[in-house]
Amino acid sequence: MALNAPRYVCLSDLHLGAAYSTLTYADAQGRPDPGRPSDTQIAFGSALRQLLSAMEGPPPTLILLGDVLDMGLSPMGDVAAAFRCFVETVMQDGGRPVFAPRVLYVPGNHDHHLWRIAQDQQYQDALQQGRIEDDLIKHTALFEPADDEPEAARIGSAMLTRLAASCPGLADARVDIAYPNLGLLDASRRRCVVLHHGHYIDPMYRVMTMLNAQAPGRSAGRNPRAVTVSDLEGQNGAWVDFMWSDLGSSGLTGAGAGKLYEVMRDAAASHDFSQRLAALLVTKLDQNFGMSGSMDVFQGITVSQLVLGTLDATLGRGAESQRDGYSEVMSADDVADLRWYLSGPVKLQLEQAGLKPSELDFSFVFGHSHKPFEDELPVAGFDRPVGIFNTGGWVMDQPTMTSTQGASAMFIDDALNIASLRLFNDPVNGRVPPVHARGGGGFRDRDNPMLAALAAGIERTAPAWEAFSRNAQQATESRATLLLDEFFTASVAVMAAGARTMAKAKA
């Protein structure tokens, strides 16, 4: 019996090009080769091709939901080679395309630079048409606009298109950029899915918006639900691009970004880092604008206190939230941030597109946290609970095994039913959970043909998924072992240096 086939398959947080990605080949000493697929990548490509073949539908559209390229910490050559490798291993099968020719790419924080390139391309296209735009666009249309609508549609990525189209059988492939949100709408305009990488849910990446809201002359009680996606990108885009997406090609500075990334994940180190950064910012404010750190802003709060408090509440808190809260997929603060993004910027964007959020059967897909999950969440402005799906991540960037970390893929059909292909979680007690299908756990699961079809497809291709699970477990365990070795080697070196210093002092 034919199974309900997906129209879209969504992946995120592959971090192609990074040594800590389970999709990157590494030798026994941990030396990476971005242009070579890991055993995990090969096994995933094989199992996914078999699954889609068993579902007997037309090739689905591939949605890449951010941090697919690790541009923040890896040189451009590494990420380009890794993306081409991914295309060869996963997107084609002996010269036959596995997916529809058009790939939709929604950049995240680590590959935000792809959006910067797209902005420049859109501006140059306007110049070729004889128009001088006032500024770079801040976002694309949420939904595919009609040809006569002025709002920017998807923007082609020349680099990724060339890499994909150079592979056998993919000459017609193209990669289009949507940012920061990609909307899918069914024919009745009553069911809607919005996909976003997830970085603007995290306060660390909208720190400039928070600073602007608290700056002198701004109302401390400004309504956060008035913040639009245009505001978020206009105020924070340069910060995201500089700190998290463009340092991989910055020589020694880029190499140092790896150390910064480690600092940001450590709560105590992050507090020290935010204090030093606050002191630097206050000095710059004094030098450039004559704003002394002791100057009152409002109600006795000084410039220094305001800057430090804001940085601590964003950068410092980021080390303790989302990716780093091992015992749960989302903390209470993370859920509040998610509700803020959905009831504010997303709801406003839906209304601007002529929809009534309160009448929608609405779901939201994101990644970023590297912790896959499915749930339903009451959100202000939406009458029904919102279906929430997280795609997890494919990295082992710390030597801590936890059952919450892992990866999944979203399967979405023509009617916008969603099912999660749960691929793996970190092996705890020596075991990776088997690949399986999940829904949101609520009322939508009862009549979800995509969920039933995905479960049946996994069963039909079980040997391929079992092979994938073995490779995923081996990859995460070996990478964690290498990280532990690096950690203890560094610790021993630090202890030895300290002992030598003490010995000299005594002498």
**pLDDT tier for residue 500 given thresholds of 50, 70 and 90:** low
**pLDDT tier for residue 328 given thresholds of 50, 70 and 90:** confident
Q: Are 63 and 195 in contact (CB under 8 A)?
A: yes
pLDDT at residue 139, rounded to an integer: 95
Q: Give this prediction's pTM.
A: 0.83
Burial of 133: CB neighbours in 10 Å, binned 0-12, 13-18, 19+ = exposed
The whole-chain average pLDDT of the chain stands at: 83
Over range 47-59, report the average pLDDT.
94
| Percent of residues, the chain, with pLDDT higher than 70 | 74
Over range 32-53, report the average pLDDT.
95
- Angle (CA) 127 131 133, round 5°: 90
Query: How many Cα atoms occupy the beta-carbon half-sphere of 190 within 13 Å?
Result: 4
- Prior bond to 180 cis, omega within 30? yes
Over range 229-246, report the average pLDDT.
85
Give the least confident one: 111-115, 287-291, 496-500. 496-500
Q: What is the pLDDT of residues 379-407, one digit of tens each?
A: 999 999 999 999 999 987 665 677 889 99
Q: What is the pLDDT of residues 441-490, one digit of tens each?
A: 888 898 899 999 999 999 999 999 999 999 999 888 877 777 666 655 54
Cα→Cα distances 21→26, 44, 79, 148, 401, Å: 10, 14, 12, 42, 15
pLDDT value at 44 more than 90: yes
Q: Where are the domains of the chain?
A: 8-177+366-374+387-488, 203-320
**pLDDT tier for residue 211 given thresholds of 50, 70 and 90:** confident
| Distance separating alpha carbons of residues 330 and 323, to the nearest angstrom | 9
pLDDT at residue 327, rounded to an integer: 54
Q: How far is CA 102 from the centre of its chain?
A: 20
**pLDDT tier for residue 254 given thresholds of 50, 70 and 90:** very low
Helices (H), 87-199: 113-128, 158-165
pLDDT value at 343 more than 50: yes
pLDDT at residue 491, rounded to an integer: 45
Q: What is the pLDDT of residues 270-321, one digit of tens each?
A: 455 556 556 666 676 666 666 676 776 555 667 676 666 665 555 544 444 4
pLDDT at residue 422, rounded to an integer: 98
pLDDT at residue 322, rounded to an integer: 43
| Between 72 and 149, the higher pLDDT residue | 72
pLDDT at residue 179, rounded to an integer: 97
In angstroms, how far apart are the furthest CA atoms of the chain? 83
Place of tokens 């590959």: 111
Tally of CB atoms within 10 A around 90: 22
Place of tokens 């709002």: 151
Backbone dihedral angles phi then psi of residue 418, each to the nearest 5 degrees: -120, 140
pLDDT at residue 455, rounded to an integer: 96
| Distance separating alpha carbons of residues 160 and 325, to the nearest angstrom | 34
Residue 215: helix, strand or coil by DSSP? coil
- Angle (CA) 476 482 483, round 5°: 85
**pLDDT tier for residue 413 given thresholds of 50, 70 and 90:** very high
